[in-house]
Amino acid sequence: MPGQRPLREADIIYSYDGSLAGFFCCVFESFARRELPFAIWDPEAEQPSLCPVRDIPTDPERAARVRRGIRTKLGPAAGEKVAVAFLSGQADKELVLLRFLHHAFSVGPGALRQLGRPEVAAVNNLERNVQWEAEKLRGFVRFEESGGMLGAVIHPKNHVLPLLRPFFCARIGGEDFLIYDASHSEVLLHQGGQTRLEKLSAPLTLPEPDAAEAEYQRLWKQFYETLAIASRRNERGRMNHCPKRYWADMTELRDQV
């Protein structure tokens, strides 16, 4: 924008709490100082570095200003894109998003249509990868019943639980259930009609299925194997539709890992 200082690359690392609100505070800091940090770290990404580290506290008011600015100046689609892309497990997602926002605010709502721009293409790739994995897991999550609760374990690359939440609450909202993301120590818990997302401080071990559940699993495996047509088996197609990294969490396939 006219009159603004040029954006400079700075030998500084932003450290934040890992939340979306915390990231928006990093965005506020970057725009206020007109600087692009060398890296942005959450608590799990911290490592030795020669660059100085600046702690960016999470300020709800600043975060709200950034969130409001994105939606009013870039449009609701941009706000949704940033929120979904932030769920990515890619190590440099914060810098990808920050570069996109600097570009988008300089251009306006039309930035989303500049598909050839590297800043836009990079954030589109983040969003697409997160949405793809969430869509796969809507079909691949397998629940086991124990003690009156349904439990499932997943090992996603991205933080997909927020995207799985509305689907499973609508589909089995009458049941108590939990989905444990073992890759990120996060859990989606739905109990007594209330749903919450929690970050765990230690790994969670789900109880072994009871006898009735074990029998249901045996019958499901038998059904799966009976349904298959050996002469039409296509391993490549099978891998494309159901990547092998998901098999260990699927009742009918975990024995084949």
Q: Residue 87, SS3?
A: coil
Last residue in a domain, options 132, 165, 184: 132
Region for residue 193 given its phi and psi (left: phi exceeds 0; alpha: psi -120 to 50; beta: otherwise): left
DSSP assignments along 171-230, one per residue: HHTTS-EEEEETTTTEEEEEETTEEEEEE-SS---PPPP-HHHHHHHHHHHHHHHHH--G
* Same-domain status, 155 and 122: no
Residues in the chain: 257
Tell me, yes or no, whether 222 lies in a domain: yes
pLDDT of residue 173: 92
Residue 105 CA, chain-centre distance (Å), reads 24
What's the domain range around 247?
A: 141-256
Q: Are residues 90 and 15 in the same domain?
A: yes
- Is the pTM of the predicted complex or chain greater than 0.85? yes
Q: Tens digit of pLDDT for each residue in 30-72? A: 999 999 999 999 987 777 778 899 999 999 999 999 999 999 9
Judgement on whether residues 112 and 155 belong to the same structural domain of the protein: no
Question: Does residue 66 sit within a domain?
Answer: yes
Domain count, the chain: 2
Binned at pLDDT 50, 70 and 90, residue 1 comes out as very low
Tell me if 158 sits within 8 A of 127, measured CB to CB.
no
Q: Residue 26: helix, strand or coil by DSSP?
A: helix
Asked if the model's pLDDT at residue 2 lies above 50, the reply is no
Per-residue model confidence (pLDDT) at position 194: 94
Whether 1 maps to a domain, the answer reads no
Strands 177-181 and 39-41: unpaired
- Tell me: do 53 and 75 sit in the same domain: yes
Look at residues 108, 132, 156 and tell me which one is the last residue of a structural domain. Answer: 132
Tell whether 111 and 170 lie within a shared domain: no
3 in a structural domain: no
Position 16: which residue type?
Answer: Y
pLDDT digits (tens, 9 = 90+) for 60-113: 999 999 999 999 999 999 999 999 999 999 999 999 999 999 999 999 989 999
pLDDT tens for residues 122-180?
999 999 999 999 999 999 999 998 878 899 999 999 999 999 999 999 999 999 999 99
Please tell me whether residues 205 and 235 are part of one structural domain. Answer: yes
* Exposed / middle / buried, residue 41 (Cβ in 10 Å: 0-12, 13-18, 19+): buried
